[in-house]
């Protein structure tokens, strides 16, 4: 995904942030919703401070669970972004918003763990996001990205 957006961990134009700074056992998906919400809420100010003070211009949210946690806990209103991306029966909706003045792009399918995620779906999603970024950068500038996951 990052390559299509012109970003790279190796070139230091991307970084990975988690919604909470704590390792969990069981893993995130094994935690109850209340515990997840509390962990995100407890670390919300830390994440907000990172967004305000670091040179971050874009946040990518991978999957519905992260999208909902950011909306619920951080108050980031995400709006639908055009038609969904589909392949092999998997429909992925795209969203956009802003958090602490940083652009947020999100998609509904967890690309790392969802059943039915094909290479073609990833490619279509990457192309669609790259198109959105090029439109925005034509008028605003830089397209460095970060990715936030739980």
Confidence of residue 140 (pLDDT cuts 50, 70, 90): low
The pLDDT of 95-118, averaged and rounded, is 89
Look at residue 84 and give its three-state secondary structure. coil
pLDDT digits (tens, 9 = 90+) for 39-97: 999 999 999 999 999 988 899 999 998 899 889 888 899 999 999 999 988 899 999 99
Rg (CA), the chain: 15
Q: Please spell the DSSP secondary structure of 29-60, one letter per residue.
A: GGS-HHHHHHHHHHHHHHHHHHHHHS---EEE
Q: CB–CB of 17/146 below 8 Å?
A: yes
Non-local (6+) Cβ contacts of 129 within 8 A are 1, 4, 5, 60, 94, 105
**Residues paired with residue 13 on neighbouring β-strands, in sequence order:** none
pTM exceeding the 0.95 threshold for the entire prediction? no
């Amino acid at each position: 995904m990052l390559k299509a957006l012109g970003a790279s961990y190796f070139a230091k134009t991307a970084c990975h942030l988690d919604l909470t700074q704590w390792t969990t056992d069981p893993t995130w998906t094994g935690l109850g919703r209340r515990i997840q919400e509390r962990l995100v809420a407890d670390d919300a100010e830390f994440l907000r401070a990172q967004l305000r003070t670091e040179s971050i211009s874009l946040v990518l949210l991978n999957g519905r669970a992260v999208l909902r946690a950011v909306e619920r806990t951080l108050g980031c209103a995400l709006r639908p972004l055009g038609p969904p991306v589909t392949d092999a029966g998997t429909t992925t909706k795209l969203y956009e918003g802003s958090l602490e003045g940083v652009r947020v792009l999100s998609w509904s399918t967890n690309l790392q763990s969802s059943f039915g995620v094909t290479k073609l779906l990833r490619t279509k999603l990457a192309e669609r996001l790259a198109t959105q970024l090029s439109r925005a950068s034509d008028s605003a500038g830089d397209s460095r990205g970060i990715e936030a996951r739980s």
